[in-house]
Structure 1
Amino acid sequence: MPFLPLLLRRCLVVLMAVMSCRSAADADEVVVPVAVQASSNQGVGGDNPMWHVDTLKLGARAFDVRLGSNGPFGLIGYPGCASPDQARYPGHDWYRAEPNQHPKPRGMWLTADGGHKDAWLEFELPAVTELSELWVWNWNDGPEIGRRVRRLVVRTSGAVAQAGRLGKVEYDGLSEKIDFPNVGQVQGRRPDVVFRFPKGTRSRYVRLEKINNFGPDRSLGLAEVFLLKPSTGGDQDVTGRVESVTDPGTEPHWHLFLDNHSITRSTGFRRVLHHPRKRGVVLKAEKAWETFGVTPMYVGRRPGGTYECYYQTLWRNRGGGYHNTMAYAVSKNGLDWQKPALGLVDAPTTIHEHPRLPLGVSSGRGKQNNLVPIGHPRDLMLHGNVKDPKKRFALTTSFHVGAPLVFAAQTPDILGDPDWRKKLGRSVGIKPSHYNALEFWDDQHEEWVYMRQAPNHPPVRCGGRYASKDLKNWTLEHYIYPDCDDSSDPRSFDEVYGVMSIHVEGLVLGFLEWFKGDRTHGNPNLYEDGHNRPTTAEGLIGKSVSKGTMELRLAASRDGGITWDRSVSRRPWIRHGSEQDSEDRLVRIVCPPLRMGDEDWFYCSQYDGDHATGGGYYHDRDGTKIEGVLYTQKHNRYVSLQAHNVPQILITRPIKVTGKRLQLNVDANRGRVMVGIGIDKVIRHKQGNWPFRAKLPHYMVIDRWQRSHLEKGFGVTDCVEVRENCIEHDVQFKQASVEKLMGKTVRLYIVVQDADLYGFRFK
């Protein structure tokens, strides 16, 4: 099923799960309604409501912008702010009775039994108000999460200004449908939906109608609904709570488990590679200059909060051959992409059907297209280990090999500034490949690096590290080869087709385009190298195989891409399609991920046939279709260490405490996690029978003589159990604060039972 198909194509608003990027000019504050009503209620209203729509009025009044909580009215708080004793509420997946000292919030609105179809809510505001956003937290009481809202329509009242008209208003203003993300029970969370009203929207009354739930419950509900207006600097200003994507240069690194760098002992755990969720095609090949296909190469935020995409477009000429260049698209939500007519580059204007090419061929010449005469950018502060804001973006002034390279503080304002090309800045060097971007600064070896396929195969394709100290003189010296543990089965012979890398969390993360060649085919056209040279010539070793599939795998490097740890690269991270004509028979990636709320969005390209479609493998066609496809995954959740129902203890290497808080990226919804913190000590035999000095980190809690590495107040049983699914969960201790350990070198002793641990950090 396509992901939110056509949802906001006609909207002038932004709808997304969790949060959108915001600037200081976007300051907002919560409006407290003077009255609310609903189609039905299961509970009672008044000053002490329970499951009644009145909770949505009182909840806005009680909202504490510092914590993201509104007391008993449904919101526990932002991630990291929820108190440990409330961390399991609202939730009751195995309780028999709720403890009186920690009652769960009962402030959520719930319809009467049978009121789950076409329910509605209405809000009256103090006056006609300019509206900026609508925030909605979905029902969050497990296990009845079938009560969660699936979709609704938001409407405004236009010019109606009279007070006391609730229930008698004609809603003739805005009318927009909202689909909710399918998110389960999560404590301490930001809004499930943020809806941005078109600029200038004014209304005194707001109606949410046609509300339906995920089911199968006969009731539905919401935890909280906030209407926001542009800030006047009041107490309810939420600007500080609605954070834009954080600058990784100011954020402490996470210790991830792509390799064993942070691990001393992981006995009893499984290292699990997690696959992102496919959300469907979001960038279609549909124009006369796209008859070969499209490949996303950069997706990022524009200063106004919308999104931009630079993508490679290819077209097949009517007279034969093909051409490729760079194109530009914009979106309000990262899903529905518009291709503006820029008038900058000549391109075909007409598509002709072709019996053997799925998208036809192109002819004509005109400038009414979205092509741009430059290369794609790369955000080097987000993904390239660069701290200088003036060098945040790197891009080339044209899209060809050896094009001049420039740095910029911001991507060009292609839509708003007619003189954008004059402001690109001076050339600082060249980039030998027009396909891959300049990827990162290697501060260990003090050189610029990008990764891509190395030339001159056979014997097999491999990835190469291109490096330069001055961006003018480039070297290619280090490679990623398939090794003896990879498949050499002629039906699936492993090769590294290409590499895209990002510098994140203190390491280089490589996305390997993993080619699985078929060396059993008899067609000689499928055994030629890139120069149409038979592989038997010139004493070449091996075969240059064209036919094959492609999937994506992961690898990690901690020396700037020179050597690679392939602990998790033996299995596909994104699988290719299993059928000969699967739409994703080949999956490739050259676009770094886009952070969207608590998710990473990966814009990939997919091909609907084997590599070798044009070599005569398919009898009914001579080409494939390439389109942009979206995959999503919770942030930094590539790999976890997983323990089953028998508790296991992970021991980290010694790590310096550099922050006041210890955070986990963890999914313990079905189990639990606890942490102890210790400092290595020499353990001596009580009778003096050891003729050596021993530091024994595996004496994990209390040794045979009742001694412990763990610091007072930081024992495993001193830790408040973690039972959450959260990408940034603050670990709490009952009587001690992590801040007390600042500057000390410690080990973490992390007890995991029936849970996944993705990473940890001090912040």
Structure 2
Amino acid sequence: MMKKYLSHTLIILAFASSEAFGQKAEPLQIGSDRELFVDQYLIETLDKARVTLHHPEDRGKVLDFDKPWEGAFSAYVTIIEKDGFFRAYYRGVPTAGKDGNSAEVTCYAESTDGIHWEKPVLGIYEIEGSKDNNVILANAAPITHNFSPFLDSNPAAKPNEKFKALGGTSKSGLVAFTSADGKNWKKVQEEAVFTQGVFDSQNVSFWSEEEQVYVCYFRSWTGKGYKGFRSVSRTTSEDFIHWTDPEPMGFGNTPYEHLYTQQTSPYFRAPHIYLAIGARFMPDRKVVSDAEAEKLGVNPNYYNDCSDVILMSSRGGNHYDRQFMESFIRPGIGLQNWVSRSNYPALNVVQTGETEMSIYVNQDYAQPSAHLRRYALRLDGFASLSAGYEGGEMLTKSFIFKGEKLELNYSTSAAGEIRIELLDENGNKIPGYSMEEAQPVIGNEISREVYWNGSSDVSELSGKPIRMRVYLKDADLFAFRFH
């Protein structure tokens, strides 16, 4: 196999040293960031290798929307994890009504593992004559239609404002709130902080470590008014009060689709990459018949459409990379999963095990069985660079890293392997880091250092422009970083 592979490498090297390096671009600065394969930011060429989308596994129901003030139309969930403690925020409303109606409240649940959830009795608001409830915001319409908080990682954030949130519709604009504990909230000011949008969905915000500003992604439409497609725009702020003029997000050359939610947030293991795990809405794509809907107990206005979960990414600015048009999470087995506004993902991906992360999805919308469901993936496992038994290669663009070791998150078969070769920016082999000197990486690990001639030290190349060639045989590479 190796002899065959080496002859193959010579062909690739000949190509790499000519056309691939004919026009020099400025090296990408990756520092010690973890790099994923949710986009092709670092990829120069692929030969018999591909980028593969992976699909989360259904781990079952974790939270019923079964309280009288919650109900079948509960939606727009946000998950926040800090130091192993998990918080969930979501809209509660038992009956269908106009966006921003007075019955909508914001509910709260918590967990110590992200799997088993409780609804604490908070005693903050009186609902139906009692304060024995899990409501953290009420009597605040239309803010409670889509109230979406985040934990502020801005080092300059005041201790009593570590939690921030935006909520509101086009009628109110987006109104800003802060909280010290994530339970007791107060308005930053009476008037809206941002008004240039439609907002009839979950509008999400966060502090960007990469861009050093607050970022808000919100509902907009292509075309004029409510004609065209549900889409996304973005605005930024230095103080969470004054926001820039909105910019519509671009999607490259991919076709427009209705994106009901976009759920954009920094990935916790690579915060320079924003992941958008959103809901693709298919209006008038009816799967459930009238008789079937009646049997399920679906509200008559909510089974003429269907939805699923999609994956996009961004590295800042007004552009999404939509590398995968196929569904990230398909609707589950059973007609209850094929009604309008079901399968809407919660905001944020969180770690729920040593090697596992979780994504939560709103299901059985407009039905008595409405609930939140958990889906699991390996850490970094959204997509991978992969090749089959015959083997394949990736060549990166020129980049500059900082660090002493190269770490991989990978999986191979018993017969498979990964080998890494480091090249100079012109594609020439660097003595000590060639493919022939590379130790095969075999196994299935979240973190594994790469060795050449018995050494993993790459510090002499730190700060210099290099390229990386990855050879895979029956293997997946999920992520890598220099550290």
TM-score by length of 1: 0.49
SS in structure 2 at match of 1:711: coil
Percent identity of paired positions between Structure 1 and Structure 2: 21
Q: Is the 8 A contact 1:271 1:639 kept in 2?
A: yes
Aligned to 2:349: 593
Name the Cα RMSD after superposition: 3.5
Tell me how far 1:742 sits from its aligned partner: 2.2
Tell me how far 1:549 sits from its aligned partner: 0.9
Aligned to 1:346: 126
Give per-residue Cα distances to partners, 1:685-726, cap 9 Å, x unaligned: xxxxxxxxxx4x3xxxxxxxxxxx222211112222111212
Q: Is the 8 A contact 1:679 1:745 kept in 2?
A: yes
Q: State yes or no: 1:647 paired with 2:401.
A: no
Aligned to 1:511: 277
Q: Is the 8 A contact 2:411 2:443 kept in 1?
A: yes
Amino acid at match of 2:124: L
Distance 1:480 1:565 in 2: 8
Distance 1:716 1:483 in 2: 36
Amino acid at match of 2:245: T
Distance 1:344 1:723 in 2: 55
* CA spacing shift, 1:634–1:393, aligned 2, 3 Å: farther
Give per-residue Cα distances to partners, 1:207-251, cap 9 Å, x unaligned: xxxxxxxxxxxxxxxxxxxxxxxxxxxxxxxxxxxxxxxxxxxx9
Tell me how far 1:758 sits from its aligned partner: 1.5
Q: State yes or no: 1:459 paired with 2:223.
A: no
- Provide structure 1 residue ranges, at least 5 long, that are not aligned to the other structure: 1-250, 349-364, 415-419, 487-493, 524-544, 610-622, 681-694, 698-708
Distance 2:396 2:190 in 1: 45
Aligned to 1:563: 319
Distance 1:442 1:519 in 2: 40
Q: State yes or no: 1:298 paired with 2:78.
A: yes
Aligned to 2:337: 582
SS in structure 2 at match of 1:581: helix
Distance 2:255 2:188 in 1: 47
Distance 1:259 1:719 in 2: 26
Amino acid at match of 1:604: V
Distance 1:421 1:495 in 2: 32
Paired positions, count: 411
Q: State yes or no: 1:754 paired with 2:474.
A: yes
Amino acid at match of 2:131: K
Tell me how far 1:276 sits from its aligned partner: 0.5
Aligned to 2:297: none
1:145-544 alignment, distance < 5 Å: 252-295=32-75, 297-301=77-81, 305-316=84-95, 323-348=103-128, 365-373=129-137, 375-381=147-153, 386=154, 388=156, 390=158, 393-396=162-165, 401-402=172-173, 404-406=175-177, 411-412=181-182, 414=183, 430=193, 435-441=202-208, 448-455=214-221, 456-468=225-237, 470=239, 471-473=241-243, 475-479=245-249, 485=255, 494-504=257-267, 505=270, 506-518=272-284
Distance 1:481 1:675 in 2: 32
* CA spacing shift, 1:629–1:676, aligned 2, 3 Å: same
Tell me how far 1:466 sits from its aligned partner: 3.8
Out of 627-636 and 600-609, give the one that drifted further: 600-609
Q: Is the 8 A contact 2:410 2:476 kept in 1?
A: yes
Higher RCO (CA < 8 A, seq sep 6+): 2
1:597-616 alignment, distance < 5 Å: 597-608=354-365
SS in structure 2 at match of 1:510: strand
Q: Is the 8 A contact 1:509 1:557 kept in 2?
A: yes
Distance 1:755 1:402 in 2: 49
Distance 1:311 1:679 in 2: 51
Distance 1:379 1:733 in 2: 42
Distance 1:657 1:377 in 2: 34
Aligned to 1:662: 406
Tell me how far 1:576 sits from its aligned partner: 1.6
Q: Is the 8 A contact 1:664 1:731 kept in 2?
A: yes
Q: Is the 8 A contact 2:203 2:217 kept in 1?
A: yes
Amino acid at match of 2:421: G
Amino acid at match of 1:564: Y
Tell me how far 1:442 sits from its aligned partner: 8.3
* CA spacing shift, 1:437–1:608, aligned 2, 3 Å: closer
Aligned to 1:66: none
Amino acid at match of 2:135: L
SS in structure 2 at match of 1:430: coil
Aligned to 2:441: 722
Tell me how far 1:563 sits from its aligned partner: 1.7
Give per-residue Cα distances to partners, 1:262-315, cap 9 Å, x unaligned: 011112112211001111110101111122243463333466x54332222222
Distance 2:107 2:286 in 1: 38
Aligned to 2:305: 548
* CA spacing shift, 1:733–1:482, aligned 2, 3 Å: closer
Distance 1:593 1:484 in 2: 25
Tell me how far 1:673 sits from its aligned partner: 0.4
Aligned to 1:200: none
TM-score by length of 2: 0.74
Distance 2:207 2:112 in 1: 28
Give per-residue Cα distances to partners, 1:67-103, cap 9 Å, x unaligned: xxxxxxxxxxxxxxxxxxxxxxxxxxxxxxxxxxxxx
Tell me how far 1:480 sits from its aligned partner: 5.1
Tell me how far 1:474 sits from its aligned partner: 5.3
* CA spacing shift, 1:293–1:556, aligned 2, 3 Å: same
Tell me how far 1:459 sits from its aligned partner: 2.5
Q: Is the 8 A contact 1:600 1:635 kept in 2?
A: yes
Tell me how far 1:514 sits from its aligned partner: 0.7
Amino acid at match of 1:377: P
Q: Is the 8 A contact 2:106 2:137 kept in 1?
A: yes
Distance 1:601 1:466 in 2: 28
Tell me how far 1:627 sits from its aligned partner: 1.4
Tell me how far 1:588 sits from its aligned partner: 0.8
Distance 1:379 1:464 in 2: 22
* CA spacing shift, 1:390–1:646, aligned 2, 3 Å: farther
Tell me how far 1:665 sits from its aligned partner: 1.6
Tell me how far 1:754 sits from its aligned partner: 0.5
Higher strand share: 2
Amino acid at match of 2:465: T
